[in-house]
Structure 1
């Protein structure tokens, strides 16, 4: 089998397409959550904390000298990213929980027991007769 045909078979599988759609939607969802954190959650939180803007929180290791930029640890941006992660993780948790509850409902509904066919009934009778002998 040629490598082109193998790649075509791989790429045309349903799981690969589903994964690609999931990654694209996940990236868009990440942008929405980042905007939610940066534009809606952090400003009131900063206001409650005496007007602190988390983006500006940093520990300067070496101040800027001339054209050389400062070297700093931007822990405020890290806090923003942690909040982003927590929100995304919680949303994914809710989605997975919803999907799992739907699957449990499907699995809990037992399939109706079909009536035995004539062959099954005959074989059962033969088995019972052989067991008596």
Structure 2
């Protein structure tokens, strides 16, 4: 039991659980931003283009409802809205990740002085230069 607790403590403290929690929190906040973007910015112009058609109300009625029976329908409008939401979310995430990758590439380039290079990349870069110099010296000695 003590070993299990120690493993859990290492898991939680070493960052895995914390990183995951931060990702979930940011993801939830990002989801709210994207939902608002879709519902309040993107869908109103689409509604104008489609003569104020509300997609969420679109459905194929399979059986009309009555006092005794519930209406049965296929809600294809809601499905279309979800697909549009997914497309916008996927595109937004793609653009954010593209921006982050561009910034990360700049940060990992040891020759780029605009952004501070992380220490591990700087160290690897120095090691690479030393190995190249060593190879040049060895080539010169062998000739």
TM-score (normalised: structure 1): 0.72
Equivalent residue of 2:66, what SS? Answer: coil
Structure 1, 29-38 or 90-99: larger mean CA deviation: 29-38
Instruction: Check whether the contact 1:46–1:53 (CA below 8 A) recurs between aligned residues.
Output: yes
Runs of at least 5 residues in structure 2 that lack an aligned partner in the other structure: 112-124
Equivalent residue of 1:19, what SS? Answer: helix
Is 1:97 matched with 2:83? no
Instruction: Check whether the contact 1:46–1:52 (CA below 8 A) recurs between aligned residues.
Output: yes
Task: Supply the distance in 1 between the matched residues of 2:68 and 2:33 (Cα, whole angstroms).
Answer: 35
Shift of 1:57: 0.8
TM-score (normalised: structure 2): 0.68
Shift of 1:56: 0.6
Instruction: Check whether the contact 1:64–1:70 (CA below 8 A) recurs between aligned residues.
Output: yes
Trace 1:1-133 onto structure 2 (pairs within 5 A): 2-66=3-67, 68-110=69-111, 111=125, 113=129
Rg larger in structure? 1
Task: Supply the distance in 1 between the matched residues of 2:12 and 2:64 (Cα, whole angstroms).
Answer: 51
Relative distance call for 1:37 and 1:68 in structure 2 (3 A) is farther
Total equivalences in the alignment: 120
Shift of 1:67: 5.3
Shift of 1:43: 2.8
